[in-house]
Structure 1
Amino acid sequence: MLHTVAIRGYRSMREVVIPLTGLTVVTGANGTGKSSVYRALKLLADCGRGEVIGSLAREGGLESVLWAGPENPTGARRTGEVQGTTRMRPVALELGFSSDDLGYLIDLGLPQYAGPKSLFARDPEIKREIVFAGPRLRPSAALVRRGGDYAEVADDAGHGFTELTRAMATYRSVLAEYALPELASVRDRLRDWRFYDGFRVDADAPARRPRIGTRTPVLSDDGGDLAAAVQTILELGNGDLQRAVADAFDGAEVSVAVHDGLFELQLRQPGMLRPLRAAELSDGTLRFLLWGAALLSPRPPSLMVLNEPETSLHPDLVAPLASMIRAAAAATQVVVVTHSQMLRGHLDVDDASEIELYKEWGETRVADQTMLSTPPWEWGKR
């Protein structure tokens, strides 16, 4: 389980350290930074896939996502005026997480020199990467560390570090380059995370089309393998999905039909002479079934991050949705980003924690968080 996620220099987050539990609900008014938390977690996951540079490019490049306020806003809080301050740190976007066993930190900065006549002069560079043991980065806890093009690994005896390379490409993550056990563990964990930001339910949505199916323990981000994911749940004997569908739609039952090898979702409702195909379902019904397939996975990922899952659902479906989220949190770690008071109320369980965000002088902050309640975190230096 992750215990801490740290973000510095990203969009409205000058520096935010967020504690996580088995079920964490991130709330706040519009514009307070909830979506930025979701995107920052996705960037961390992209590090495991070696795709973080491309992901930043699609967001407009590093300069477009960097914190735009002063490095130290103390003066603005005191005087009521925002003014530039003397920069004490390099321009950087830094992300990291920690858990009981391993932690990871990445530091991305502006490029120094991309090469003669290169068209990639605006691509960010990976300045630092550190994989460390335990819940907090300390010099003695570092297992693998990388600075620029140089990377090294701690030796087994604990007496120092052994060089890995002096020629690491600044656009390549050390996670994607080496098969060391520590790196593989962090890489596989990041690749396992799943992000669900609503689902397409329009007439051409992938979930409405018949599709070749194979065993699918984890629903894809776009929901295109919905029928295969539902059939996998049904065959493994998890009755939670059928109970959730029956509770939400007055005794309805979900099933999968196969025609010429193509899987297609069906929903049979009391009083209907035939089941409705996925193409015939209402938008809200299909979206609820997509959330059911994602949340009630028989082999859940180590982390699921849900962005405003209540969107476009009828209020009567919020309580069944919350029940599925609670069921998922019993088997894996779940982060829910929402501003729905109704959903928050239904998720009010003993093992859930709520992180409320607010803005102060353009900066995202965590409500009621003090120096004593902020999780311990060390950024280190370049």
Structure 2
Amino acid sequence: MLTTLAIGNYRSMLDLTVSLEPLNVITGANGSGKSNLYRALRLLAATARGDVIAALANEGGLASTFWAGPETLTRSMRDGSAPVQGSPRRHAQRLRLGFSDEDYGYLIELGLPKPDVTTAFNLDPEIKREVIWAGPSYRPANALIDRNGPLVKIREGRRWRVISHHLNSFDSLFSQVADARVTPEILTLRERIRGWRFYDHFRTDNEAPARQVQLSTRTPVLHHDGHDLAAALETIREIGDAAALDNAIEDAFPGARLSITPSDDGRLRLTLHQHGLLRPLTAAELSDGTLRYLLLVAALLTPRPPSLMVLNEPENSLHPDLLPALARLIGQASRHGQVWVVSHASQLVAALNELPDCHGIELEKTLGETRIQDQEILDTPSWQWP
């Protein structure tokens, strides 16, 4: 479980440190930075897959992701006694992302390269620094692995040993020096991060993958596009919590019953029997909201819970009457793994905040900077960048 997330110089986040719990609900007004927080976490996940550079390119390039305000927002700027204005930059621009969990912490710093006439990739960001440490926050004394430019060193007792002098600027530790014998911490963190799940692109239009009949294969983890919905629901029924599945359907649609039937050609057919109808409805006939709710059920009741699941605006297309049932389903999932919900639906947020151990994080924007509303200095988790 992540305990702290830190973001520096990324879009509207000049310097943000967030404390985390098993169930976290991120909310705030439009434009407050909810999407930026979500995208920062996705960039962290991309480092473990080895494609953080490509992920930044998809965002328009590193330069476009940098904080657009002054390098430092002074106290006088914040209280309005001085105008917001820039000054000569004292430090090189770096995009900084980091987190700590119950065992380890990790951070990455990315910057722009020096102009080089020998390459056509002068806009590709470079990985300037990566550090893995033991404990809740970075300190030089608890660092285990330190990558500075092309140089990678690991701690052996009280000494450091260099294990690489020539790591490419576009390659992360996770893709190049993960070794079970030499650097088990890298391998452990890489697999943890690769296990994070993000659900934010469930389509419900007429051509949505979830509406199509698919070949059946056991599916303990729903795909991010939901094309294997019928197989995922049947897998829950066979090897997961079938009672929870039936309860989730009954909670949202009283008197309804879900059926998954195999055909002779190895395909699964999803139908929903609803009270008052003379025949069941197929996936192609379901309303957008009903289909999205079934997709969320399949994701949240997975027989293989991840260490972290992130739902971005799950309320889209859902009727308000379904939101309390969704909140109860999310609360149930948070007992098996950490869950983040990014939402602007006040009814869903209110229902989630009524759950025990729910950690509400309300964002606000001041002078273009995303901050946590009412967060005092004493409430800010301990965090230090190298």
TM-score range, shorter chain: over 0.9
Unpaired runs of 5+ in structure 1?
A: none
Assess if the C-alpha contact under 8 Å between 1:217 and 1:233 holds in 2: yes
Q: Which residue of 1 aligns with 2:336?
A: 331
Q: In 2, distance between residues paired with 1:290 and 1:19?
A: 29
Deviations along 1:186-228, one digit per CA (max 9) or x if unpaired, are 1011110011115100111111112223222221211111111
Assess if the C-alpha contact under 8 Å between 1:248 and 1:317 holds in 2: yes
Q: Which residue of 2 aligns with 1:202?
A: 205
Q: Which residue of 1 aligns with 2:166?
A: 167
Q: In 1, distance between residues paired with 2:270 and 2:172?
A: 40
Q: Which moved more, 1:273-282 or 1:349-358?
A: 273-282
3-state DSSP class of the match of 1:372? helix
Are 2:366 and 1:360 equivalent residues in the alignment?
yes
Q: In 2, distance between residues paired with 1:285 and 1:319?
A: 14
Q: In 2, distance between residues paired with 1:368 and 1:240?
A: 37
Assess if the C-alpha contact under 8 Å between 2:2 and 2:102 holds in 1: yes
Are 2:293 and 1:281 equivalent residues in the alignment?
no
Q: Which moved more, 1:207-216 or 1:71-80?
A: 71-80
Q: Which of 88, 112, 115 matches 2:114? A: 112
Q: In 2, distance between residues paired with 1:170 and 1:256?
A: 49
Q: Which residue of 2 aligns with 1:216?
A: 219
Q: Kindly tell me: are residues 207 and 370 of structure 1, through their superposed partners in 2, closer, same or farther at Cα, counting changes over 3 Å?
A: same
Deviations along 1:214-248, one digit per CA (max 9) or x if unpaired, are 22222121111111111110002411121111221
Q: Which residue of 2 aligns with 1:151?
A: 152
Q: Aligned residue pairs: how many?
A: 377
Q: Which residue of 2 aligns with 1:39?
A: 39
Return the letter of the residue paired with 1:97: F
Q: In 2, distance between residues paired with 1:42 and 1:301?
A: 15
Assess if the C-alpha contact under 8 Å between 2:127 and 2:169 holds in 1: yes
3-state DSSP class of the match of 2:377? coil
Return the letter of the residue paired with 2:125: P
In the superposition, the TM-score normalised over structure 2's length comes to 0.95
Q: Which moved more, 1:243-252 or 1:102-111?
A: 243-252
3-state DSSP class of the match of 2:290? helix
Q: In 2, distance between residues paired with 1:25 and 1:261?
A: 40
Deviation at 1:110, TM superposition (A): 0.5
Assess if the C-alpha contact under 8 Å between 2:7 and 2:13 holds in 1: yes
Return the letter of the residue paired with 1:20: L
Return the letter of the residue paired with 1:89: H
Please give the residue correspondences for 1:288-307 in structure 2 after superposition, counting only pairs within 5 Å: 288-307=293-312
Assess if the C-alpha contact under 8 Å between 2:313 and 2:344 holds in 1: yes
Q: Kindly tell me: are residues 266 and 153 of structure 1, through their superposed partners in 2, closer, same or farther at Cα, counting changes over 3 Å?
A: same
Deviation at 1:144, TM superposition (A): 1.1
Deviations along 1:239-290, one digit per CA (max 9) or x if unpaired, are 1121111221122122222231222322122343433221111111100000
Deviations along 1:162-200, one digit per CA (max 9) or x if unpaired, are 111111010010111122310011101111001111510
Q: In 2, distance between residues paired with 1:80 and 1:218?
A: 53
Assess if the C-alpha contact under 8 Å between 1:198 and 1:311 holds in 2: no
Q: In 2, distance between residues paired with 1:50 and 1:115?
A: 26
Q: Kindly tell me: are residues 270 and 52 of structure 1, through their superposed partners in 2, closer, same or farther at Cα, counting changes over 3 Å?
A: same
Please give the residue correspondences for 1:219-234 in structure 2 after superposition, counting only pairs within 5 Å: 219-234=222-237
Q: Which of 346, 351, 355 matches 1:346? A: 351
Are 2:17 and 1:11 equivalent residues in the alignment?
no
Q: In 1, distance between residues paired with 2:12 and 2:302?
A: 34
Unpaired runs of 5+ in structure 2?
A: none
Q: Which moved more, 1:11-20 or 1:161-170?
A: 161-170
Q: Which residue of 2 aligns with 1:66?
A: 66
3-state DSSP class of the match of 1:214? coil
Deviation at 1:13, TM superposition (A): 0.3
Assess if the C-alpha contact under 8 Å between 1:217 and 1:300 holds in 2: no
CA RMSD of aligned residues (A): 1.3
Deviation at 1:114, TM superposition (A): 5.0
Deviation at 1:318, TM superposition (A): 0.5
Q: Kindly tell me: are residues 207 and 115 of structure 1, through their superposed partners in 2, closer, same or farther at Cα, counting changes over 3 Å?
A: farther
